[in-house]
Amino acid sequence: MEFQDLVRRRGMVRAFRPDAVPEELVRKLLGNAVRAPSAGNLQPWEFIIVRDEETKRRLAQAALGQTFLAEAPVVIATCRNMERNAGRYGDRGREFYSLIDASFATLMILLTARNEGLGACLVGAYRDEEVWRVLGLPEHVRSVGLVGVGWPAEPATKAERIPLAEVVHRERFGQRR
Amino acid sequence: MEFQDLVRRRGMVRAFRPDAVPEELVRKLLGNAVRAPSAGNLQPWEFIIVRDEETKRRLAQAALGQTFLAEAPVVIATCRNMERNAGRYGDRGREFYSLIDASFATLMILLTARNEGLGACLVGAYRDEEVWRVLGLPEHVRSVGLVGVGWPAEPATKAERIPLAEVVHRERFGQRR
């Protein structure tokens, strides 16, 4: 759909129909995720597609019992590979760029899901080490988001926004002109 | 334009025509930025619109001499307000969610710019304290990206991508099935 309509219609979906999400659609989500920009084009992201019921259940548990995650037909764990850009950028790459860039890729998944008629929900509240263990992450790879994806069984949530005037400044912080 | 076309056509632009960018378009960029998702909908972002030549010059200097930044008619500094979500989420809000959410808002600006026919370039390589000082950021607000925005004087760069097969895993890291 038109980008501007997509922005208006996007929102989190936490209830899914049980119908499967075809692999082809998952590939579309990831095909767009890797089109995200990244510092020096080093693309410090990794994606783990989880369809196994037991693994999803363990992720939902690690996510402080957010059980809707286990009910999504697919969970995509977006991760940052902190070594992929550390060579060129050192600690700034490891700690800053890798999280920014993996966040970009995560938002691309959320937007693309909505564009394809899917629903998606991003979970960031989870016990880190439990998620790393379930997903078998090596030390240089860390999770960012757990994205539940499926056919929506509810409309996307529409959340209120802080008025623009409160978060926009001119030339210097605090200056509204 | 169609979202899928937008994703294909987006890219960084580092050369701008001198023509002004109307305030109305800047507001469109920011109007979409705040439509980004955020943990608990706490929206830990702040935006500083910089049009002043001297301020842009100082930002470009802080950005290790990336002079194209000073040549963009507008620079939008995207920032994270680490206190806005700390109350509910503590350190995880401060250090993790605030950077993820401000990154989402930053990508919304990049996508919207392209959708409106503008060019944009994201700069993340800069001397932190110099940027904070130039923008007058209080201690609980930290910069994320410096986004130069203007009418493109060159086509957007198209960068090669790591093949999907190298960054996609199944059920566990390293498993390709």
B129: how many CB neighbours lie within 10 A of its CB? Answer: 10
Distances (CA, A) of A103 to A36, A124, B68, B150: 9, 11, 25, 24
Within A85-160, strands assigned E span 119-123, 141-150
Contact predicate B149/B113, CB 8 Å: yes
Residue B115 within a domain: yes
Residues B93-122 have a mean pLDDT of 98
> d(Cα A129, Cα A137) in Å, to the nearest integer?
10
pLDDT at A148: 98
Residue A156, burial from CB neighbour count under 10 angstroms (0-12, 13-18, 19+): middle
Sheet with strand B141-150: strands edge to edge: A168-170, B45-50, B74-81, B141-150, B119-123
pLDDT-derived band at B158 (thresholds 50, 70, 90) equals confident
Residue B129 within a domain: yes
Query: Would strands A45-50 and B168-170 be described as parallel, antiparallel, or unpaired?
Result: parallel
Q: What CATH number does residue B31 fall under?
A: 3.40.109.10
pLDDT-derived band at A158 (thresholds 50, 70, 90) equals confident
pLDDT at A2: 98
Which residue in A14, A6, A5, A2 sits closest to A119, CA to CA?
A14
pLDDT digits (tens, 9 = 90+) for B127-149: 999 999 999 999 999 999 999 99
Residue B175 within a domain: no
pLDDT at A59: 98
pLDDT at B44: 98
| Residue B156 near chain A (CB below 8 Å) | no
Residue A172 within a domain: no
pLDDT digits (tens, 9 = 90+) for B82-105: 999 999 999 999 999 999 999 999
pLDDT digits (tens, 9 = 90+) for B58-85: 999 999 999 999 999 999 999 999 999 9
Q: pLDDT at residue B174 above 90? A: yes
Residues A57-75 have a mean pLDDT of 97
Residues A123-147 have a mean pLDDT of 98
Within chain A, strands assigned E span 45-50, 74-81, 119-123, 141-150, 168-170
Is this complex's ipTM strictly greater than 0.95? yes
Report which DSSP code applies to A24. Answer: H
Residues 30-49 of B with CB under 8 A from A: 30-32, 34-37, 39, 41, 43, 45-49
Q: Determine the structural domain holding residue B98 and report its residue range.
A: 3-167
User: A159-171 burial by CB neighbour count: b if 16+ within 10 A, else e?
Assistant: eeeeeeeebbbeb
Residue A110 within a domain: yes
pLDDT-derived band at A174 (thresholds 50, 70, 90) equals very high
Task: Work out whether the CA dihedral A114, B6, A100, B106 comes out positive or negative.
Answer: negative
By Cβ distance, the residue of B112, B168, B173 closest to A138 is B173
Residue A175 within a domain: no
Amino acid letter, residue B77: A
Distances (CA, A) of A159 to A12, A132, B79, B105: 9, 30, 21, 15
Domain count, chain B: 1
| Residue B115 near chain A (CB below 8 Å) | yes
Amino acid letter, residue B28: K
Contact predicate B158/A122, CB 8 Å: no
Residue B45 within a domain: yes
pLDDT at B177: 74
pLDDT digits (tens, 9 = 90+) for A22-59: 999 999 999 999 999 999 999 999 999 999 999 999 99
| pTM exceeds 0.90 | yes
Residue A9 within a domain: yes
Residues 6-25 of A with CB under 8 A from B: 6-8, 10-12
